Amino acid sequence: MKKKTLLFRLAALVILAVFIPSCSSSTIKEAKVSSKTYKDPKASVEVRVKDLLSQLTVEEKAGQMLQVERNYLSSSDIKNYGLGSLLSGGGSTPRENSPEGWIDMLEGYQKQASKTPHAIPLIYGVDAVHGHNSLLGAVIFPHNIGLGAANDKELMKEIADATSEEMLSTGITWNFAPCVAVAQDPRWGRYYESLGEDPQRVSELSGPYISEMQDKYNIAVTAKHYTADGGTKWGTGYSGGIDQGNSSISDEELRKIYLPPYENAVKNGAKTIMVSFSSINDIKCHANKHLIMDILKGEMKFKGFVVSDYNGIHQIPAKSTYDKVVTAVNSGIDMFMEADYWKQTLDSIIKAVKAGDIKQDRIDDAVSRILTVKFELGLFENPLGNKQLIKNQVASDAHKETAKKAVRESLVLLKNENSILPIKNNTKVFVSGPASNSVGLQCGGWTLDWQGNKRQPVGNTILDGFKQMASQSGGEIITDPEQATKADLSVVVIGEESYAEYEGDDASLTLDSGKALSGNMSALKFAYSLNKPTVVIMVSGRPRIVTDEIDKWNAFVEAWLPGSQGDAVAEVIYGKYGFKGKLPVTWPKDSKNLPAKANNNILFPYNFGL
Ligand code: BGC
């Protein structure tokens, strides 16, 4: 061999040695198709699953168990590794964020999947947690805490309908919602994702959402985060906060407070359940075999598949990725939501099956569950969902009207001295405050971006609504502070910055620190200086401490995070509609003795609302 050729070959070997390991063991090129029964839509789902499963190699099975965030893929990964699923994490949208942009993107991914030996379609998941909130122009509904206040099962169905229609217009058939957390502590950054502190209300409202979305639109839902995510203690969480922390609870509390919404979700046919980042009695839920295998799949007879939370298995305390993966699979996790470390996870599953650390039965069970959902959703026939089920366009008037109804029903009137509300005809109103004119703040986290209020959603603000209502009632809206003395009444809209997950953890809950908007107190002080009746509206994902201020307010309305149709707030303030909302949580007097109910630290009790 010529020296040059040898050198060239050596160089090629080095290059191979460097680049191949990441794609060597786990690629799926040797798989063969021996039967096509699974492709027959007339065969039963059970027969199709069995037929397909019997043809899959270990590599293909492991691929099905992987869900990868789209930003962590290179162009041929779906095909080379036979990936089972992709997701858009918070804010992960196609560059052209329109229905067409999403469809193009998904078509590209599904095309790659169709080139794998068995052409198994991907299942694509997003967090459409208050409407299809990743899509620019979508109607954004109030976050769950507001829907807990509205407490209207029919409304939950209408929201599920509108969200499904908007999702299907982008080709997406898996929603990481509803969050069925039973939240106990308002310092938690995910408090607003909860329908309230009472498991019964959480179950009663999430049930209709689940069945509507799945049965009518064939979109898989996810009940999350399994479980007791709402019971964690301050100081045990991420960076010393509360999110992803530990719930110290007895078996009785677990069964009484945190399991009922899952029992109900399973009864309603929930196709997937997401495991919580948090721990129960210091055991990470992702490593809790008793919780997943014995209780969820055993006692509750859950037949769908269990998905881990984003990179969640990497928080399992073990010395290597291999050990974490083995623990997670053997604890009952079927699909792995992964970003940075997906290839290691995939390789670990394959190696562990070959080494006998994971039994063949276990991955067969995991893959059967995943394939069952894919067949049930009709993805082999319609990889982008059933288009015939879309009745309205994105952001149709009907969807906006549903959102307005949700806003109106969610408002809770907490104080109303001398019946100052509703605002009478011909009133001059000075509207101020840092949350009075921002669709982004009204929507909060999980809106276009993970933390929200960056790319601006389309919608109407609370101030827009005041202007509409004033023009209908002979009144006037003043926003210029220099003209404020001419007003009969002052309305101050205070609020919180947008946040999601641990970034929203807030120990103080005051009106001027933590996640409170910096302009809250100056707006309030200016309003006090006018010596006029003062109405305060709060835009927030949780109660904030108002104990020292509320005596200076003539009326107080909690508006939660109303979403894109914030103008509907004014329709209730002006009396076009009555107040209906009731607190889905206990409103604390101070932020020290929490949870409020257990510590008798109550300013307004659960279910209060005038
Ligand atoms: C959240 C989940 C979410 C997932 C995918 C995680 O950080 O905890 O609720 O579904 O990301 O976006």
From its phi and psi, is residue 66 left (phi > 0), alpha (psi between -120 and 50) or beta?
beta
- pTM given for the model: 0.95
Ligand 1 binding pocket, CB closer than 6 Å: 87, 89-90, 127, 176, 224, 309-310, 501
Annotated catalytic residue 215: no
**Sheet strands (E) in 260-378:** 272-275, 279-280, 283-284, 305-307, 336-338
Residue closest via CA to ligand 1's atom 5 equals 89
Q: Which atom of ligand 1 is nearest to the CA of 224?
A: 9
Report CA(452)–ligand 1 centroid distance (Å).
14
Residue 88 alpha carbon to ligand 1 centre in Å: 10
Is residue 131 within 8 Å of 186, Cβ to Cβ?
Answer: no
pLDDT one-digit tens code per residue, 349-364 = 999 999 999 999 999 9
Mapped onto helix, strand or coil, the DSSP state of residue 450 is coil
Distance separating alpha carbons of residues 320 and 268, to the nearest angstrom: 38
pLDDT, position 19: 39
- Atom of ligand 1 lying closest to residue 176 CA: 10
**Cβ within 8 Å of residue 274, ≥6 positions away:** 176, 222, 223, 224, 225, 226, 306, 307, 308, 309, 337
Q: How far is the CA of 248 from the centre of ligand 1 (A)?
A: 23
Q: How far is the CA of 340 from the centre of ligand 1 (A)?
A: 15
**Residue with CA nearest ligand 1 atom 12:** 89
Q: Which residue among 86, 144, 194, 309 is best mutated to probe the pocket of ligand 1, counting the most ligand atoms within 8 A of its Cβ?
A: 309
Q: Which of 69, 86, 127 has most ligand 1 atoms within 8 Å of its beta carbon, as the pocket-test mutant?
A: 127
How far apart are the CA of 47 and the centre of ligand 1, in A?
Answer: 33
pLDDT in tens, 134-172: 999 999 999 999 999 999 999 999 999 999 999 999 999
The answer, yes or no, to whether residue 298 has pLDDT greater than 90, is yes
The closest residue, in CA terms, to atom 2 on ligand 1 is: 309
Nearest CA to ligand 1 atom 4: 310
**Cα(268)–Cα(251) distance, integer angstroms:** 24
- Of ligand 1's listed atoms, the one at least distance from the Cα of 88 is 12
List the end-to-end C-alpha distance of the chain, in Å, as a whole number.
91
Tokens describing residue 479: 């926003």
Q: What's the average model confidence in pLDDT over 262-286?
A: 98
Check whether 17 has a pLDDT greater than 70: no
Q: Residue 26: pLDDT above 60? A: yes
Q: Tell me what the pLDDT averaged over the chain comes to.
A: 95
Stretch 500-528: mean pLDDT, rounded?
Answer: 98
Residue 60 is among the residues annotated as catalytic for this protein: no
Amino acid at 152: D
**Residue 163 Cα, ligand 1 centroid: separation in angstroms?**
18
- Asked whether the predicted pLDDT for residue 22 surpasses 90, the reply is no
User: Which residue's alpha carbon is nearest to atom 6 within ligand 1?
Assistant: 310
Amino acid 259: pLDDT? 98
DSSP track, 296-363: IIIIS---SEEE--TTGGGGS--SSHHHHHHHHHHHT--BEEESTTHHHHHHHHHHHHHHTSS-HHHH
Query: How far does the centroid of ligand 1 lie from the alpha carbon of residue 586, in Å?
Result: 26
- Express each pLDDT in 534-547 by its tens digit: 999 999 999 999 99
Other Cβ atoms closer than 10 A to 420 = 16
Structure tokens at 432: 């101020």
Residue 256 DSSP one-character state: I
Q: How far apart are CA 292 and CA 226, in angstroms?
A: 9
Q: Whose CA is nearest to atom 7 of ligand 1?
A: 310
Catalytic, out of 77, 127, 347, 501: 501
Ligand 1 centre distance from Cα of residue 309 (Å): 6
Q: Which of 70, 71, 123, 176 to mutate to test the pocket of ligand 1 (most atoms within 8 A of CB)?
A: 176
pLDDT at residue 16 greater than cutoff 90:
no
Ligand 1 atom index nearest CA of 225: 9
Q: Rounded to the nearest whole angstrom, what is the distance from the C-alpha of residue 306 to the centroid of ligand 1? A: 14
Give the residue, out of 144, 310, 338, with the most ligand 1 atoms within 8 A of its beta carbon, to mutate for a pocket test.
Answer: 310
pLDDT over threshold 70, residue 20: no
Atom in ligand 1 nearest the alpha carbon of residue 179: 9
Which residue do the tokens 């990889």 mark?
383
Check pLDDT > 90 for residue 31. Answer: no
Question: How much is the pLDDT for 25?
Answer: 57
* 3-class secondary structure, 82: coil
Residue nearest (by alpha carbon) to ligand 1 atom 8: 309
Ligand 1 center–CA 89 separation, angstroms? 7
pLDDT of res. 389: 81
Q: Which of 77, 166, 243, 309 is catalytic?
A: 309
Question: Rounded distance, CA 289 to CA 307, Å?
Answer: 14
Q: Which atom of ligand 1 is nearest to the CA of 90?
A: 12
pLDDT at 527 over 60: yes
Q: Mean pLDDT across the stretch 274-293?
A: 98
Report d(CA 433, CA 183) in Å as an integer: 28
What's phi and psi for 280, nearest 5 deg?
A: -120, 125
Q: Whose CA is nearest to atom 10 of ligand 1?
A: 176
Residue 392: its pLDDT value, please? 72
Q: Within 13 A of 41's CA, how many CA atoms are on the CB side?
A: 7
The pLDDT of 257-278, averaged and rounded, is: 98
Is the distance from CB of 69 to CB of 124 less than 8 angstroms? no
| pLDDT number for residue 4 | 34
Q: Going by CA atoms, what residue is nearest to atom 11 of ligand 1?
A: 310
pLDDT digit string (tens) for 105-139? 999 999 999 999 999 999 999 999 999 999 999 99
The reported pLDDT for the residue numbered 393 is 81
**pLDDT tens-digit map of 580-601:** 999 999 999 999 999 999 999 9
Closest approach atom of ligand 1 to CA 89: 12
Which residues have a Cβ under 8 Å from the Cβ of 81 and sit 6 or more positions away? 23, 26, 27, 28, 63, 66, 343, 346
Q: Cβ–Cβ contacts within 10 Å for residue 609, how many?
A: 18
Output the 3-class SS for 555-576. Answer: EEEECCCCCCECCHHHHHHCCC
CA 527 to ligand 1 centroid distance, Å: 40
Q: What number does the ligand 1 atom closest to the CA of 222 have?
A: 10
Give percent above pLDDT 70 in the chain: 96
User: Which helix (H) or strand (E) segment is 476 a member of?
Assistant: strand 476-478
Question: Could you report the per-residue pLDDT of 372-424, keeping only the tens digit for each?
Answer: 999 999 999 999 998 788 777 899 999 999 999 999 999 999 999 999 999 99
Give me 500's structure tokens: 């999601």
Token pair for residue 108? 């590209």
The answer to whether residue 18 scores a pLDDT higher than 80 is: no
Residue 245, helix vs strand vs coil: coil
Residue 554 · residue 420 · CB < 8 Å: yes
Look at the block and give the residue holding tokens 């894109």. Answer: 564
Residue 324's φ and ψ, nearest 5 degrees, are -65, -45
Contact 100, 118 (CB under 8 A): no
